[in-house]
Structure 1
Amino acid sequence: MLLPESETIALRPGVLGPPVDCPVRWHRSSRARRVSLRIDPRAGEVVVTLPMRAGRRAGMALLTTHAAWVMQRLAALAPAVDLAPGAEVLLGGRPHVIRHDPAARGGAFLDGATIVVSGRVEFLARRVKDFLRDEAKRRITALAEGHAAALGVRIRAIRLKDTQSRWGSCAPDGTLAFSWRLVMSPDWVLDYVVAHEVAHLRELNHSARFWAHVEGLTPHREAAQEWLRANGPTLLRVG
C-alpha cells in the first residue's frame, strides 16, 4: 500500500479526552531498523519513519501508543511566523517589522527596524528569506574571518543551511556550515556559534584544548548556549 506523504490523523491523547487532529508526515527509510517518531518544529508536524518492510499499521500503532507525548510536544511549539506584511521577525535579536512597498526598489532592505520589501506581494516571503540569508552570510563571514585570524587558521568555505538540530558544523576539509536562522539571534549568540566552529579548525574535537580556544575567542559560551536552548526552537518556526 502506498503511503501518503502527509495527512491529518485524529489522535486521542487520553482515555477520556476527545480526538485531536494531528498533522503527520510519513517517511520511509532504507536505513531505519525500527519505527520511530520525531517532531519537526519547522513544519509543526510529527514525522513517522518506517523501515522499508513496515506498513502504515505499524506507524499508527506507535502513534496511538505515544499520542499524549506527540500532542504535548506539538502544543508546546512556538506559534509559526509567516513572512507576510506586518509580521515581526528578529534580526540580531531585535524585532523588525516586514513592510510591503510595491513601488520600492531593491528587493528587500533595512529601514531602521523595518524590513522593506518591494515588488509583488506573492514574492515577499521569498525575498525576506533571501534577505535574511544574505545578511546571515555577511555577518557570519565577518565574524569567522576575525576569529580565524586570531587563531591563525584558514577557512576553506562558509556554507549556509537550514538545519533543525545543529546550528553549525566544521568539516575536516575546513568548510564551515551554519544555519541561516542564527541571524535572528542576538549578536553575541551568533558570535559564540561562529567562534565554536572556527575553533574546530584548530581542534576537531571537544577536548579541553578546544574549549580553551573557544573561550579565548568569545566570552559568551554559557549564556549563548542557554539562549539557544530556550529560544532556538522559536527560530525554526519562522518562514
Structure 2
Amino acid sequence: MATHHLPGDPPVPLILRRSARARRISLRISSLDGRVTLTLPKSLPERAALAFAEEKADWIRSHLEKHPETVEAGFGTVLPVDGQNRVVERAPGRRIQLDAGRIAVPGDNPGRVLQRYLKELARNRLAEASDFYAARLGKSYSRLTLRDTRSRWGSCTADGGLMYSWRLILAPPAVLRYVAAHEVAHLQEMNHSAAFWAVVERLYGQYEAPRAWLRENGAGLHRYRFGE
C-alpha cells in the first residue's frame, strides 16, 4: 500500500492498494474513521488512481465532513478513558497516573506510551468481564486477543477464541461489559438468533442502552490517534 494526498485545504490522505482481482478503480471511505482507500488493478499507473480521486474530490470531502475530526493524543488532549474525559498531562515521575479528570504520562511523546497503557488496561478489564460472564454461562474460552478492528467490536471463533477491540477502554464501562457478554454468549449460540439474545440478556441484563451507545458513538472512538 502507498499513501498519497488529495490536494486542497486541508489535503486528504489517500491509501492506494493494489489488487490482482480488481478490474477497475474502486473508492471506499471508512464509516468508522474516514480513511479514504483507492483499490486499483496491479497494472494501472498510480497517476490514474490519483486523477480519479481528484475527479471525485467534492464527493470525498462532503463525506468526510460527516466524520469527527482526528485527534492526535498529546499533552493537553482530552481523552476518554472508561468513558470519562481526562486531560493528558505530563507525569512528574516515570509511571502513568490515572486520576479523575486527568491521565499523566511520562516522557516527551505520550502517544505510544498511552496506547500501550490503554491496551493493557483494556486487556485487564475485558479479561475480568469475560471470566465473569463465562463462569455465569458455565463455559470457558480458549484465548483472548486484542486488535484495533474497524468493522466489529468483538468476535468469537468456533474454537472459543475471543477477540476485542482495545478501543473499548475509551467507552463507558457498561458498554465494555456488554460487548464482553455479547461475545461470551457466542460460546453457546454461534448466531444472532432469538436464543442468542436471550443468553445475552441472561448474562448482562437489559442490553439496549449500551448497544445503542455503540451505534451512536462507537465510530468516534476511532478518531483518536497515538502516533501510529
Structure 2-normalised TM-score?
0.88
Distance 1:97 1:6, change over 3 A: same
In the alignment, structure 1 residue 143 sits paired with structure 2 residue 133 = no
Aligned residue identity for 1:99: E
For residues 182-232 of structure 1, what are the alpha-carbon distances to aligned partners after superposition, in whole Å with 9 as ceiling and x for unaligned?
111111111111111111111111122111111111234322222112211
Matched with 1:8 is 5
Bigger Cα displacement from structure 2, 201-210 vs 141-150: 201-210
Name the CA distance, whole Å, in 2 between partners of 1:180 and 1:153.
Answer: 23
Structure 1: tracts of 5 or more residues without a match: 12-18
In the alignment, structure 1 residue 52 sits paired with structure 2 residue 42 = yes
Name the CA distance, whole Å, in 2 between partners of 1:65 and 1:91.
Answer: 40
* 2:150 aligns with one of 156, 164, 170: 164
Matched with 2:68 is 78
Name the CA distance, whole Å, in 1 between partners of 2:68 and 2:134.
Answer: 35
Matched with 1:114 is 102
Query: What are the within-5 Å matches in structure 2 for residues 84-233 of structure 1?
Result: 84-101=74-91, 103-106=92-95, 108-118=96-106, 120-122=107-109, 124-233=110-219
Bigger Cα displacement from structure 2, 221-230 vs 32-41: 32-41
Secondary structure (helix, strand or coil) at the match of 1:69 reads helix
Name the CA distance, whole Å, in 2 between partners of 1:220 and 1:82.
Answer: 35
Structure 1-normalised TM-score?
0.84
Matched with 1:25 is 15
Aligned residue identity for 1:164: R
Name the CA distance, whole Å, in 2 between partners of 1:41 and 1:100.
Answer: 33
Structure 2: tracts of 5 or more residues without a match: none
Distance 1:157 1:33, change over 3 A: farther
User: 1:33, CA displacement in angstroms?
Assistant: 4.9
Distance 1:207 1:34, change over 3 A: farther
Cα RMSD of the aligned pairs, angstroms, is 2.3
Distance 1:20 1:144, change over 3 A: closer
Name the CA distance, whole Å, in 1 between partners of 2:144 and 2:77.
Answer: 30
Name the CA distance, whole Å, in 2 between partners of 1:95 and 1:68.
Answer: 34
User: 1:179, CA displacement in angstroms?
Assistant: 0.5
For residues 55-79 of structure 1, what are the alpha-carbon distances to aligned partners after superposition, in whole Å with 9 as ceiling and x for unaligned?
4365346535543331122122212
User: 1:148, CA displacement in angstroms?
Assistant: 0.4
Name the CA distance, whole Å, in 2 between partners of 1:84 and 1:185.
Answer: 19
Report how many residues are paired: 225
Name the CA distance, whole Å, in 2 between partners of 1:90 and 1:199.
Answer: 27
User: 1:32, CA displacement in angstroms?
Assistant: 3.8
